[in-house]
Amino acid sequence: MLNPQTLILVLLAAILCGVLGWVIALQTRLRRLSRQYRALMRGAEGVDLQSILNQHVAEVGQALETVSSLEERTEALEQAMPRALRWVGSVRFNPFRHTGGAQSFALVLADDSGDGFVLSSLHARENTRVYAKPLHEWASEHMLTDEEKEAIERAQRQQAMAKAS
């Protein structure tokens, strides 16, 4: 049987070997992680991760500025849109029996509130006459022909279809 001092020395040696093995394993793992970290920081093209992240942050900042600018432009367009002449109605017709083809027309251009104008052209063999009549809320203070009224109705239908979709 071993004396207690020898037993304590053997036990301490075993603990020391265990701790030494553990330190060696940790040192090996630390070296491997350190190599992986250096490779990651170096990047695929020799550029370090810090530079890549800085470039990404700059690109995100630029994208945010672009989005902000686009939001401002969109808001300005949305405010201007109701006043834009975007509803169109047209009718071609033949006002005179002795002329061939439907060379005459009535054209309506109006904004969201029905303000705009009616442009009419009457084509005859000898001449063509053009008339413009203002519109306010889809009506005119001037007398409208049936064709002009039909052109107004077409523009209103176009507006109603756009609102429905």
Structure confidence by residue, pLDDT tens digits, 33-46: 988 887 777 765 66
Residue-level pLDDT at 26 = 93
The whole model's pTM is what? 0.59
| Rounded alpha-carbon distances, angstroms, from residue 2 to 9, 12, 17, 18, 124 | 11, 15, 20, 22, 133
Cα 94 to its chain centre, rounded Å, is 46
Note the pLDDT tens digit of each residue in 17-36: 889 999 999 999 999 998 88
Inter-axis angle of helices 4-42 and 49-80, to 10 degrees? 50
Output 42-48 pairs: Cβ under 8 A, ≥24 positions apart. none
Note the pLDDT tens digit of each residue in 67-95: 999 999 999 999 888 889 999 999 999 88
> Of 134, 130, 83, which is closest to residue 108 (Cα–Cα)?
134
Residue-level pLDDT at 63 = 95
Per cent of the chain over pLDDT 90 is 59
Those residues whose C-beta lies under 8 Å from the C-beta of residue 107, and which sit 6 or more positions away, are 88, 89, 90, 118, 119, 120, 151
Q: In the predicted model, is pLDDT for residue 7 greater than 70?
A: yes
Lowest pLDDT segment from 4-8, 55-59, 107-111, 129-133: 4-8
Extents of the domains making up the chain: 33-81, 84-164
Residue-level pLDDT at 74 = 94
Note the pLDDT tens digit of each residue in 106-150: 999 999 999 999 999 998 878 889 999 999 999 999 999 999 999
Q: What is the mean pLDDT of residues 41-57?
A: 76
> Of 131, 110, 109, which is closest to residue 120 (Cα–Cα)?
131
